[in-house]
Chain A
Amino acid sequence: MADALLELTSVSVAFGGLRAVQDVSLRLMPGTLGALIGPNGAGKTTLFALISGFLKPDTGRVVFDGHDITGQAPHLNARRGLSRTFQIVQPFAAQTVRENIAVATHLHEPRRVAALAEAERVAARVGLAAQLDKPAADLTVSARKRLELARALATRPKLLLLDEVLAGLNPQEVAEMIPVVKAIAAGGITVLMIEHVMQAVMHLAQHVWVLAQGQLIAEGSPAAVTRDPRVIEAYLGHGAAARLQAA
């Protein structure tokens, strides 16, 4: 078996009595696009925080690209090639789109002029070329999601963790965003995405993990996972799978 780009081994974290993530293990192969799904409150975003270093797991190991990065600070992970977006967009509101992205391009480009120029190229990749000089605070929801994506991309990641980049978008905007994500994955960046929009998951993901109440309850291809009775019950409640079968 080839080496995984990201490997979690029995990762757990608790907040007081709440066991937010319990004993999660997963292997994400390089060059693939994986999706992490699950009902609200399942611990998906917490798991992203554990991987990217914003939270430290109580137990378990996170190995990225052959290095143990368990609990390592986010900025060090970003330097290693692990980048994330935020579910609730976090722009540098007072700064323009170009300046926002340039903060990230500066990771590999110390010169200001070159960093700003590279920011323009990244903006073009996510369809923000027309709004380079707009302050981030003036952007629409859809453009802010693109900005999140652009900033993460600008760090030249090997692995991109996308936390609901499609949430809050209308169907038209979702349809426009899917090819952008697809192009990123096609460009050789490994992607792990949290997503509720099943249209996108079915369309994009090669492998799906299902998290419910902090535990992985299923994994496999999108089609297999959505037929899994445990997954249906996690979303729709106890007995739902049986009722669906009967109907």
Chain B
Amino acid sequence: MNHEQAHALWDAYLDNELDAAATLALEAHRRECDDCRAGLIARRALLAQVKAAVRPYPLPATLGARISRQLRQRIRPRLARSPWLGSLAAGVVLVLAGFLFGHTLRGPPDLDAELVDASVRAVLSANPVEVVSSDHHTVKPWLSGRLPFSPPVPELSTLGDVLLGGRVDYVARIPVGALLYQHGNHRITVYLWPRGALRNPPTRAATLDGYHVLPVAAGDFTAVMVSDLGREELAAFRARWSAAATSDGTSR
């Protein structure tokens, strides 16, 4: 094997993609070739440098939303024809009821969809939270500094629910606080805005495409939990969250 042939195999060798015979031949050549020894060391360093320094471009939040919306548009009109989709049927009924009776029955159905969209968009994005912290002493001032109000930020880590952080979202044309919690393998987004800031806030539980939307009053604030967690489990989370929000007195 000459040096040119050996050089052409450096990368396959370092990537563990070389067969045994070629590996032996390259190693035999390396023992006699100063250039290959130095070259392989430099190449290994280059690969480590690439690995350490290069980060992928983050997925734009709007793209995840655009795609999930386009896919959902394909599903929605056809859902009713798949009766065996079981639990989703209830969601369809709620959505239809929302469309038929609009604002009189419950919050505008668009708002539920908007909250679900916003939470899916965030979870799909590379940075689901803007302030990454499980400490409410970090998250609360961060949100207060960016919102015209100071929402409650209960920490629930002792109860198996981990606070992942927070971000500011924009829902129904007002800025809202969003807290992200992890429970088992599921993520729960809690949206918060001052009570009365929205004319028709969601007041009832809703299910959209497998996501549950659960509103709750929290002192001077309206909170809405959105998650793909089971409905009962999300209701249990809501109870724990409300208790913590009240007891730590952070709700203003």
Q: Do A and B bind each other?
A: no
